Structure 1
Amino acid sequence: MSSVVRRWRSGRPVDPHQVIGGLRKGPGDPAYVVEPGRRTVWRATRTPDGPVLLRLTPYATVGEVEAEAWGPGSAWALDGVPELLGEADSWDGFSPLAEHQPLVDAARRFPHFRVPRTRAVFEAMAAAGIEQVVTGKEAFRAWRVLLREYGEPAPGPVAPDGRVLMVPPSPEEWRLIPSWQWLRAGVEGRRSRVVITAATRARALERTLELSDSSEIERRLRSLPGVGVWTAAEVRQRAHGDADAFSFADYHVSRNVSYALTGEELDDDATAELIEPYRGHRFRVQALLQLAGITHPRYGPRKSLPTHTPGATHRLR
Structure 2
Amino acid sequence: MILQVPAAPAQQSTAEPVRLRWTPSGPVHLGQTLAVLGRGTNDPTLRVISPECVWITTRHRGLAVSARFTRSPGGTAATALERDIVVDAWGPGAPEWISRAPYWCGAADDWTTFEESSAYALLPERLRQARRRHPGLRLPATGAVTDRAVIAVIEQRVTAIEAIRAYRYLVRLAGETAPGPAPTGMYVPPSPEQWRRVPSWQWHRASVDPHRSATIMRVIHRSSAVERLGLIQDPAVVRAKLQTFNGIGVWTAAEITQCTHADPDGISVRDYHLADYVCWFFDGAPGSDQRMEELLEPWRGHRQRVVRLIKASGHRKPSFGPRLSPADHRWH
- TM-score under structure 2 length normalisation: 0.85
What SS does the corresponding residue of 2:68 show, helix, strand or coil? strand
The 5 Å alignment of 1:189-200 reads 189-200=210-221
Tell me if structure 1 keeps the 8 A contact 2:143–2:231. no
The residue aligned with 1:210 is 231
The residue aligned with 1:302 is 323
CA deviation profile, 1:18-45 (whole Å, cap 9, x unmatched):
1121111100111111113x53001111
What SS does the corresponding residue of 2:114 show, helix, strand or coil? coil
The residue aligned with 2:246 is 225
Compared CA separation, residues 33 and 206, structure 1 to 2 (3 A):
same
Is 1:124 paired with 2:152?
no
What SS does the corresponding residue of 1:26 show, helix, strand or coil? coil
Query: Structure 1 residue 112: deviation in Å?
Result: 2.0
Count matched residues.
301
Is 1:263 paired with 2:284?
yes
Tell me if structure 1 keeps the 8 A contact 2:175–2:189. yes
CA deviation profile, 1:168-206 (whole Å, cap 9, x unmatched):
101121122111101111111111112111101111112
Partners of 2:313 and 2:162 in 1: CA distance: 24
User: Pairwise CA RMSD of aligned residues?
Assistant: 1.9
Tell me if structure 2 keeps the 8 A contact 1:84–1:118. yes
The residue aligned with 1:43 is 56
Is 1:54 paired with 2:78?
no
The 5 Å alignment of 1:1-317 reads 1-36=15-50, 38-48=51-61, 50-59=63-72, 61=80, 63-91=83-111, 92-94=113-115, 95-98=119-122, 100-159=124-183, 163-302=184-323
Compared CA separation, residues 270 and 125, structure 1 to 2 (3 A):
same
Tell me if structure 1 keeps the 8 A contact 2:28–2:138. no
- 5+ residue gaps, structure 1, are 306-317
Tell me which amino acid in the other structure corresponds to 2:55.
Answer: W
Structure 1 residue ranges (4+ consecutive) displaced by more than 6 angstroms after TM superposition: none
Partners of 1:82 and 1:67 in 2: CA distance: 9
Partners of 1:245 and 1:76 in 2: CA distance: 29
CA deviation profile, 1:224-270 (whole Å, cap 9, x unmatched):
11101110001111112211111111011121122122322221101
Tell me if structure 1 keeps the 8 A contact 2:59–2:93. yes
Query: Structure 1 residue 99: deviation in Å?
Result: 6.0
- TM-score under structure 1 length normalisation: 0.89
What SS does the corresponding residue of 1:46 show, helix, strand or coil? strand
Compared CA separation, residues 13 and 214, structure 1 to 2 (3 A):
closer
What SS does the corresponding residue of 1:294 show, helix, strand or coil? coil
Partners of 1:104 and 1:43 in 2: CA distance: 30
The residue aligned with 1:314 is none
Partners of 1:103 and 1:304 in 2: CA distance: 33
Identity of aligned residues (%): 39
CA deviation profile, 1:206-238 (whole Å, cap 9, x unmatched):
222333443332221011111011100011111
Partners of 1:273 and 1:167 in 2: CA distance: 40
What SS does the corresponding residue of 1:80 show, helix, strand or coil? helix
Partners of 1:167 and 1:74 in 2: CA distance: 12
